[in-house]
Chains A and B, each alone.
Chain A
Amino acid sequence: MRISRHAETIWHFIFMVTVLVMVFPIIYAFGMSFKPLEDAYNNVLNILPINASLENYRTLFASLPVLKITMNTFVVASVATVFKLVTSFLAAYAFVYFKFKGKEVIYFLLIGTIFIPFTVTMIPNYLIISEIGMLDSVWGVILPQLADAVGIFLIHQAMKNIPGSLIEVARLDNMGHGRIMKDIVLPLVRPAVTSVGIWFFIGTWNEFVWPVLVLKTTENYTLPLALQMFISSEGGTNFTVAMAVSVITMIIPLILYLSFQKYIIGTFTSSGIK
């Protein structure tokens, strides 16, 4: 079978158009965040601003505690990520290296939660968080997110790929589980743990649904909530300022993704969902 040049060219064209649809809005947002508002309406098709200015950012910083909000987002994302990684790593280790009764059932139940719609848990979780006085606090956003089924699943997959004989050698050397975890398993699954960590970090950074329920005052908002303020139901007039918030929201995930994309794509392509 020969793939005709023709077909290949057509497919390249289709892929290029798709990439454009995916990436163009992001680039456009950067340009627009530096455009004065009338520029945005008059020179719609210019990706780069004609009269670049920091006006939008100035307006933004004057009207919102941007640093505080960014800090909130950072705290939520990093605390949740660290806890999710630790709990997922420990659980995955238990599932891979121990035999105990009910292991399969527990695994099935935990992984099964991936398929539970969040609306089923949102009211009780809201009540719990409000009961313990964490409403309108980043800790209330963090608390239900200290463990993660996807994390258990992905790290479990990575650990399963370590040859069993490596662990057996360690056991013959009379090594305890703490040492095996620290010296052998962790270094070997580090690429997976790193990309899962980045995935978690970006996931909680961008999270919207749950913080919307918990956080009430602008002071305590995370970036996606702050962003939402700029789009009223009618489209809003502060569009260019919204673009500035968008840029601030996107910048950290973009940097992380672009620096670790090889790792991340590697982890997702080797996880072998079955």
Chain B
Amino acid sequence: MKEIKFEHVKKSYGDTEVVKDLNFTIKEGERLILLGPSGCGKSTILRMIAGLEDITAGNLFMNGQKVNDIPSGKRNVSMVFQNYALYPHMTVKQNIIYGLKVKKVDKEEIEKRLEFVLEMLQLKGYEDRLPKQLSGGQRQRVALARATVKRSDFFLLDEPLSNLDAQLRVSARKELKKIHEMLGQTIVYVTHDQIEAMTFADRIVLMYNGELQMIDTPENVYHRPANVFTAKFIGSPPTNILEMELGDGSVKIGKQSFLLNDLWKQQISQIGAEELLFGIRPEHTELSAIPLPNGLRGQVKYVENQGDNYGVYLDVDGQELIAMSENGNWHDGQDAYVRPFMEKFHFFFKNTEKNIGYPQQMKVVEELHYLEEGKVTV
């Protein structure tokens, strides 16, 4: 049972609450990513698991045992820090085995494990170098090796790749996955980078302002955002969220409207007519210079080159809508027509900003978890 369970966990510094009433479970052997903008409390959560921060209220369980008062050293965790925290006065080898020596692990065993990580992380031949004689990528691998060699049940990583350049990140992620496949620890990984989260996580915990926004698989976080924050945080450019009114089987945005299919009509009528917000990802639209059936008309405000395609910023009756286009031949002020894909719509309650759910036949993956409401299968 190498799981970690948060039960009404809170953390505050004086009057500032940095983590508010946290309830969730990290499953044995999974790769869980804590994602969110800076200051959202994600690092604090990681540090509470490590025992480097006290828990203000609530209970934290690891391996089924309450650990609120268990010191760091007895929690069977290893951690990789953003700055790597390598001991500058110790060689690569000394850095890696120092913890084992302190724990009085058998000499042969130390050698065996050392060989294993040096091999796996391509650090052979660097054993006797000091950290300052290594490149950034090598330092990162030493930090990883030092954490791996402990063979602890829980593997914590605090923005471990944020000091690397883009190419090194890709290979480092592969290495991390390899380690995980071989050793099968429970991984908790903090990052603010959504690409990292999407590519690495079994599940993502999205945090904002000390509150858990959504916990689910990367697919669901992308396709089935639990609330407006999640929809906007994941994806770039962010999901368009538009003010709307419900017509008779149609959605009215500004002075224009488009029709809903039967599935959506039924879904919306089921939850009862309320004030809603309409959400659509820029990549889930079609953009054209000539009118489209069931589309919206807008004026081009700004075009952003994204390499393989263009983000076109439109003014649709006073609201901003971003659409993706494969060609960049748009000029400012020009009329353009957008058709959002019906099966990619999102609707949110205007007052709570929570998702209203999706028609059953449209589901992407097995199930959805909604904040506070427990599991809701739609």
A interface list, Cβ under 8 A from B? 163, 165-166, 168-169, 171-175, 179, 183-184, 187-188
Chain B: number of interface residues, binned into ranges = 20 to 34
- Do B71 and A165 touch across chains, with their CB atoms under 8 A apart? no
Q: A16 to B78: give the CA distance in the assembly, Å.
A: 57
Stretch in B85-93, B117-125, B278-286 with 4+ CB within 8 Å of A:
B85-93
Q: A179 to B87: give the CA distance in the assembly, Å.
A: 14
- Do A169 and B79 touch across chains, with their CB atoms under 8 A apart? yes
- Do B102 and A179 touch across chains, with their CB atoms under 8 A apart? yes
Q: A163 to B79: give the CA distance in the assembly, Å.
A: 15
B140-161 to A contact mask, C-beta < 8 Å, 1/0: 0000001000100000000000
Q: A174 to B99: give the CA distance in the assembly, Å.
A: 8
Q: Across the interface, name the chain B residue whose C-beta is closest to A168.
A: B52
- Do B81 and A169 touch across chains, with their CB atoms under 8 A apart? yes
- Do A165 and B102 touch across chains, with their CB atoms under 8 A apart? no
Q: List 13 A-B contacts (CB under 8 A).
A: A163-B83, A165-B81, A168-B79, A169-B146, A171-B71, A171-B72, A171-B73, A172-B75, A174-B102, A175-B102, A179-B102, A184-B87, A187-B89
Q: A173 to B152: give the CA distance in the assembly, Å.
A: 10
Q: Tell which of A165, A179, A183, A187 touches B85, judged by Cβ atoms closer than 8 Å.
A: A165
Q: A108 to B322: give the CA distance in the assembly, Å.
A: 58
- Do A169 and B73 touch across chains, with their CB atoms under 8 A apart? no
Given A165-B85, A166-B87, also A173-B103 (CB < 8 A): yes
Could you say which residues of chain B place their CB within 8 Å of the CB of A179?
A: 102
- Closest Cβ of chain A to B129, distance in Å, is 17
The reply on B50 being an interface residue by CB < 8 A is: yes
Could you say which residues of chain A place their CB within 8 Å of the CB of B82?
A: 165
Q: Across the interface, name the chain B residue whose C-beta is closest to A166.
A: B85
Q: Tell which of A163, A172, A175 touches B77, judged by Cβ atoms closer than 8 Å.
A: A172
Q: Tell which of A166, A174, A187, A188 touches B103, judged by Cβ atoms closer than 8 Å.
A: A174
B window 4-40: CB within 8 A of A = none
Could you say which residues of chain B place their CB within 8 Å of the CB of A187?
A: 89
Could you say which residues of chain B place their CB within 8 Å of the CB of A165?
A: 81-83, 85
Given A165-B81, A168-B52, A168-B79, also A174-B87 (CB < 8 A): no
Q: Say whether chain B's binding surface is mostly helix, strand, loop, or mixed.
A: loop
B window 62-115: CB within 8 A of A = 71-75, 77-79, 81-83, 85, 87-89, 98-99, 102-103
Could you say which residues of chain A place their CB within 8 Å of the CB of B71?
A: 171, 174
Could you say which residues of chain A place their CB within 8 Å of the CB of B51?
A: 171-172
Q: A165 to B103: give the CA distance in the assembly, Å.
A: 20
Given A168-B81, A184-B87, A188-B89, also A173-B73 (CB < 8 A): yes
- Closest Cβ of chain A to B103, distance in Å, is 7
Q: A175 to B98: give the CA distance in the assembly, Å.
A: 11
Could you say which residues of chain A place their CB within 8 Å of the CB of B99?
A: 169, 172-173
Q: A240 to B49: give the CA distance in the assembly, Å.
A: 73
Could you say which residues of chain B place their CB within 8 Å of the CB of A172?
A: 50-52, 72-73, 75, 77-79, 99
Q: Across the interface, name the chain B residue whose C-beta is closest to A169.
A: B85
Q: Across the interface, name the chain B residue whose C-beta is closest to A184.
A: B87
- Do A174 and B72 touch across chains, with their CB atoms under 8 A apart? yes
Q: Which of B51, B72, B79, B150 has the most CB of A within 10 A?
A: B72
Q: A252 to B77: give the CA distance in the assembly, Å.
A: 51
- Closest Cβ of chain B to A190, distance in Å, is 8
Q: Tell which of A174, A183, A188 touches B73, judged by Cβ atoms closer than 8 Å.
A: A174
Q: A183 to B72: give the CA distance in the assembly, Å.
A: 19
- Do A173 and B102 touch across chains, with their CB atoms under 8 A apart? yes
Q: A171-B72, A173-B98 are in contact. List 7 more A-B contacts (CB 8 A).
A: A165-B81, A168-B52, A172-B73, A173-B150, A174-B72, A175-B73, A184-B87
Could you say which residues of chain B place their CB within 8 Å of the CB of A171?
A: 51-52, 71-73
Q: Across the interface, name the chain A residue whose C-beta is closest to B75.
A: A172
Q: Which of B50, B102, B150 has the most CB of A within 10 A?
A: B102
Q: A165 to B86: give the CA distance in the assembly, Å.
A: 9
B331-373 to A contact mask, C-beta < 8 Å, 1/0: 0000000000000000000000000000000000000000000
Q: A149 to B77: give the CA distance in the assembly, Å.
A: 39
Q: A168 to B73: give the CA distance in the assembly, Å.
A: 10
Those 8 A-B pairs whose CB atoms lie nearest each other, nearest first: A174-B73, A165-B85, A173-B99, A165-B81, A187-B89, A171-B72, A169-B85, A172-B72
- Closest Cβ of chain A to B74, distance in Å, is 6
